[in-house]
Structure 1
Amino acid sequence: MEAEEAARQHGVGVDVFDAGDTAAKQAQDLVRFAAESPGTRRCAMVVPFADAVAEGTAIQDGATYRLARRVLQKGVGWILLNHGREELITALRLEFSSLPVAMVAVDNHEFGRIQARQLRARVKPGARVLCVRGNPFDSGSQERSAGLKEGLRGAGLTVEEVDGRWEEAIAEAEVQRFLASPLRQQSPPQAVVAQDDVMALAARRALDRAAQEPGRADLKMIPVLGGDGLPAMGQRWVDEGKLAATVSVTLPGKTAVELLWRYWKNATPLPAVTRLAPRPYPH
């Protein structure tokens, strides 16, 4: 991992915890980490689970906020990775001003807008598009959806959605179920866009499987767009023709480690929020 390599270069120790897509286990791991080695300089870098809250809900009522406070009260810093809510970071920095508190995230709104431009270049007005979302309770997924809808405003496209939950198997099953419905037998989508490359590749497999049915060979020609665009995954799958396009992002872990190291070493102010710009691929 780039974050671990950056930490090694600066002589910073790293413990990696895999929550296995379980918010409860992530919370347990973080509380345990915060309780270890009191008095030492430590910081938790966290990819939050299902951190979106209903409109009008106070920050203090969110599970992520409560968990962050438990960690910070032990003298351990808190940096959100990939996505998160800026107002949460603002509130925590006010209360724990002596600790590193920040967010280093992909600009997920722009991610969605790029996907919208990629779609506009591939389908005509009046087309139907299937969007494979991540987790609808995840702020990053919500921001990518918002950017996509903003970018498609006025394009005359009909967008339908299924939830892939950031899981390959779930995404493939949901797309397969979508294509098998009687309505979609007669009116399939003209394009599929997924919020990450793994779900996009799963959608490609579901389309290719459905294309084996009598009279549905055209499904193999439907373009599938992905996202995250890592060189060994999304970019390679585009180059191989499995995906039509992707959105390339800079993983935030390395940037977060660099910012934290400068904060610890030189007291360089830690930005509250750092947004990393995504890029279309192919360019």
Structure 2
Amino acid sequence: KEIDIYAKRAMNYKNLFDPEHKLMRGKNQDGTFQSPFNPLKWGDAFTEGNSWHYTWSVFHDPQGLIDLMGGKAGFNRMMDSVFSVPPLFDDSYYGGVIHEIREMQIMNMGNYAHGNQPIQHMIYMYNYSAEPWKAQYWVREVMDKLYTPNPDGYCGDEDNGQTSAWYVFSAVGFYPVCPGSDEYILGSPLFKKVTLNLENGNKVVIDAANNNKANRYIQSMTVDGQVHTKNYLTHDQLLKGTTINYRMAPAPNQSRGVNDNDLPYSFSKELKSVNNKNKKK
């Protein structure tokens, strides 16, 4: 079937994963990995970025990437490393420092390069690996530090509105990591109250009464009065009109959003489910 061809191709990212470095690595025409490999090298196999940026570009299947990295703990260590490795770089491919590199350097967030689009979804992937509070922490860091009302207050490129769209979504409190799914992945709402007036006449009310600069973590939340532990909201939930209430806190709630049924969509989970059903038949 045609769909089977695309399902197979959707897993091609696994062919670029180097288990030795736990990162994506360029390949030669004969299928061998490019060597030597420097994850800090911009360009070459990666357009205006490096392996630390592009490794996370598995929007449709974060669980598959988590599995490749040895599970949630290994995945979270690699995610943490993006922010903790120094802002070093290899610009030999370009023969000089391009502005995307310089913008990463001055951000003081390790190798996280928010000014360039390929990594902008990465923070939200903590929601797939059962550490959503880290997404809440870093989303606020980026909003507070990299978007300010000053002459130098806008980071990097504004390619087709993506960098400002990231901010608008993130300020509201969620972000569409995989637009082909119906899920908006949770971050940390920036305001005490936001009302979205939808074209169909419905309203989405996002209420976080005790929100402030210190209270960046979601202690608990309800959707239409029901306790909501999932790390996402669905398109249908929003379209029908809904009231989302947050109770924010200065310290993370490390027991919320950590169960398997709280995690957002991943394609490999769907494949496993289909395969299990076929086996039972």
With normalisation by structure 1, the TM-score equals 0.28
Bigger Cα Rg: 1
Bigger helix share: 1
- The higher-RCO structure (CA 8 Å, 6+ apart) is 1
Question: TM-score, normalization: structure 2?
Answer: 0.28
